[in-house]
Homo-oligomer: A and B are copies of this chain.
């Protein structure tokens, strides 16, 4: 028996486009003599569809897509994820289902049981959990269908659920498992995925065909990396990261013990590729081509520019250099050198005259009040506004260049450098930004050395340095990681040897700046805990603030 995994990049709500993509994959699989083709979780509508699921019209379109796919199921069985109406009046209105289509009919439907409702996931908002379990018989084989999380309640220290769906299916003696996933990327995810798949394959002694999505859906990035597991706890093959792939596997071969074909890719390389894909899909799926950003000569905008150039092509990236009286000589030179290295268009607009006319107009109101953060913010906002002006006039999308460390402590100006349609490196800590820069320069200087080596500065007042108001990024990033990713409280962080006053100050900054993050662009998610939909904090509150 031959099983095809179609690792595809869907668009949410683009039922026609998703269907067409699936039909092309079906045709390819048929040509390869495949018996079964598998698509991802909720592949008809894309994942995550979020509150579109609350529209009857949206569910109707998903059902119509299933009906279209049914027509293609004569010479091949199709396994595909789609939402299903719950016919029972009590409970949530929908199921998150795996459909088995064969011989022109819906042969079997298995609903998802374990509904992730944490971090970026909201599945219990929409779906009723499955309460019945079975297997589908096809060409003499019994197949257990599972959806994503259904195989994840195993081998965890702190299991989230009280049930394991495969435990319920085992009495039917399945020959193999198909798992339809939409399992978002973070730099640890492939390792965890392999762990979970190994645990399942070992415990149940059964082969698993694990199908993932690939591509970005606003902030959430799917890395692909679909996997075929043997029945002995070993990995047979892992499919590509970060690109579509359709591959057919011979069940007989999968059953033979042997080597594991896996990719090795380090954390920074993964982050790099994930962000490039995230940018590509944000633009491509929205129908945009061109990006603009402000290039300061600093490392954050430099790394963002390189990522944009690699994702969109040099002809589609344009930068503004907007020096003020506080900009250092090197800043402009470094920014120009980078733009030239990247082959991207740059324009220089001094912000001094605009700043002066603002100050003139505000002078009668400000009176004798001294220069402070107000004037710093005005400079940042003029730059944001110039970027937006070009965006409006020429159709460029402004890219936000803030890193995760800054976003965390609120070191950025709302409506200024926090502008932009997409936050490119908002889930990348400052030390990781340096690592990305180094990675980008591995085959020769792309980012000027000076940009990497000079002390970070916002250059909004004379001789300003980030270290004037923030601790060293090495320490800052560690404390932030413990608080944000690890969810440690102050006592636990201090117990790890960090200075009490510093820890409390940083946690206070994080909490008090929630209002800024609330108004910032969606952040491409690369870590296990990114700002945005996966981290939900009150703005008004008194905890650690």
Contact = CB atoms under 8 A, between A and B. Distances in A.
Interface stretch (A70-78, A158-166, A168-176): A158-166
Nearest to A542: B14
Contact of A354 (B51, B159, B358, B540): B358
Interface string A45-73: 01011111011111011000000000000
A393 B415 contact: no
A89 B159 contact: yes
Contact of A57 (B60, B90, B118, B492): B492
Nearest to A61: B543
Interface stretch (A102-110, A453-461, A518-526): A518-526
Chain B CB within 10 A, most for which of A57, A160, A540: A540
B415 A57 contact: no
Interface in A18-66: 46, 48-52, 54-58, 60-61
B124 A51 contact: no
B519 A52 contact: no
B13 A52 contact: no
A51 B535 contact: yes
Interface residues of A, number: 96
Given A358-B354, A543-B52, A384 B415 contact: yes
Interface stretch (A188-196, A237-245, A279-287, A462-470): A279-287
A366 interface: yes
A393 B366 contact: yes
Nearest to A219: B539
Assembly stoichiometry (copies)? 2
Nearest to A483: B55
A13 B358 CA distance: 40
Interface string A403-416: 00000000000110
A433 B134 CA distance: 55
Nearest to A520: B519
A347 B365 contact: yes
A439 interface: no
A392 interface: yes
A430 to B, nearest CB: 23
Interface stretch (A267-275, A367-375, A472-480): A367-375
A52 B117 contact: no
A536 B533 contact: yes
B282 A12 contact: no
A149 interface: no
Interface in A326-369: 347, 349-350, 353-354, 357-358, 360-362, 365-366, 369
A537 B377 contact: no
A93 interface: yes
Given A57-B490, A538-B52, A353 B357 contact: yes
Contacts of A385: 358, 378, 381-382, 385, 415
Interface string A195-232: 00000000000000000000011100000000000000
B361 A377 contact: no
B487 A55 contact: yes
A354 B361 contact: yes
A414 B125 CA distance: 30
A155 interface: no
A55 B385 CA distance: 39
A357 B415 CA distance: 19
Given A13-B544, A388-B381, A50 B537 contact: yes
A37 to B, nearest CB: 23
A432 interface: no
A502 interface: no
A289 interface: no
Nearest to A45: B543
B389 A374 contact: yes
A281 B374 CA distance: 26
A421 interface: yes
A390 interface: yes
A489 interface: yes
A542 B12 contact: yes
Given A11-B542, A218-B538, A285-B540, 9 more contacts: A11-B541, A55-B489, A57-B489, A124-B125, A357-B357, A358-B389, A365-B393, A374-B393, A519-B519
Query: Which 6 pairs from chain A and chain B are nearest by CB?
Result: A13-B543, A57-B489, A14-B542, A12-B541, A374-B392, A415-B415
14 contacts: A51-B535, A55-B487, A61-B543, A90-B159, A118-B125, A285-B542, A347-B365, A349-B362, A354-B361, A357-B357, A361-B386, A373-B392, A377-B392, A519-B520
